[in-house]
Amino acid sequence: MGSAGALLSHSPPGLGGFPPRHHHHHRLSVLRCVPLLPSPAPEPLSCRHGRHLRCAAVDGGAGRETERPSPPAPQREESPSGSLGAALEDPSPQPVQNGSFGGITEDEEQSSLIFVSVLAVGAAILGCFAYSKDLIRILEAPVSVQGVRFLQLSPGEFFFTTLKVSGYCGLLLGSPVILYEIIAFVLPGLTRDERKFLGPIVLGSSVLFYLGIFFSYTVLAPAALNFFVNYADGAVESLWSIDQYFEFVLVLLFSTGLSFQVPVIQLLLGQVGLVSSDQMLSIWRYVVVGAVVAAAVLTPSTDPLTQMLLAGPLLGLYLGGAWMVKLTGR
């Protein structure tokens, strides 16, 4: 009986006996291995517009965060006043995409600049050609009172002279339009300080250029022409070629206007920090020699009177430019 009871209580594995299962003990051991996490605050199931709800989920005992994107917020149309206010609050320029800015490409802006400039100069040349004889009489005035006569030494010389005079005068009258178009093209890319500096520079350069032309017409050209007339008086009769005369006068006018840009160049050099006002004033001896040499190169005549008349204003303009650079604190 004792052996039979032992056999009945311990059945062999091959006869269908199974080891006892301890389910509760195994579940408790698994739960003990999982770290206890603080329970998060309950969150609403519906996500609000414009937010991302981050939901934490535990999968297999390991915490993993999954991010659920919220649906896009509805866009509302902005009024023009609202977009203007946003532009004022954010002064940074808009990025240039595919070489365009504001819907207009850079090539289109350049084409517009060239077209308007050529149109303005062409219209000015045509207008000057219509009154070319009157312009020629005005430019002949410095020597016509002294009995100088002008000759046409070849066929068509007077016609081509009128074209030359009309071209120079048309370019002179159309230069403000060209200058305006250039400023309008480069202005959007400048900073506020550069814009404040650009206005006086452009205005001063234009005034000095026209002032140089006026000075050349009223002082330099009459002085040089009178010198030649008086020098030849009593020896030869003054019969001048119309083409060579206007070539002399026009070159003298425009070279004087360009030479009057010395203060503008000084201001630009002072603003970029290349030269200070003290350095400009310390080389005044070299400036005197340079003014005489520049006058000799710019004036088409070789008489010393015309050269001195141009060298004097150049020296005065240089000293004035150094003084203006000093006023700017450079």
The string of DSSP codes covering 122-138 is: HHHHHHHHHTHHHHHHH
Q: In 187-300, where does DSSP find H-type helix? A: 192-215, 221-232, 242-259, 262-271, 277-282, 284-298
How confident is the model at residue 71, as a pLDDT? 52
How confident is the model at residue 167, as a pLDDT? 93
Spans of all domains in the chain: 104-259, 261-330
- Residue located via tokens 């006086």: 200
pLDDT tens, residue by residue, 175-192: 888 888 888 888 888 888
pLDDT tens, residue by residue, 7-18: 444 444 444 444
3-state secondary structure of 88: helix
pLDDT tens, residue by residue, 54-70: 444 444 444 444 445 55
pTM score: 0.63
Is residue 68 a contact partner of residue 53, using CB atoms and an 8 Å limit?
A: yes
Which strand (E) or helix (H) includes residue 239? Answer: strand 239-241
How confident is the model at residue 114, as a pLDDT? 87
**pLDDT tens, the chain, 330 aa long:** 444 444 444 444 444 444 444 444 444 444 444 444 455 555 454 444 444 444 444 444 444 444 455 555 544 444 444 443 444 344 444 444 444 444 567 677 778 888 888 999 999 999 999 999 999 999 988 888 777 888 888 888 999 999 999 999 999 898 888 888 888 888 888 888 778 888 888 888 889 999 999 999 998 888 888 888 888 887 888 889 999 999 989 988 998 999 999 999 998 888 888 888 889 989 888 999 999 998 888 877 777 888 888 899 999 999 999 998 888 876
- What span, in angstroms and rounded, lies between the C-alpha atoms of 162 and 133? 7
Q: Cα separations (Å) of 167 from 1, 52, 127, 136, 315? A: 141, 70, 10, 13, 31
Is residue 221 a contact partner of residue 140, using CB atoms and an 8 Å limit?
A: no
What lies within 8 Å, CB to CB, of 179 at 6+ separation is: 202, 206
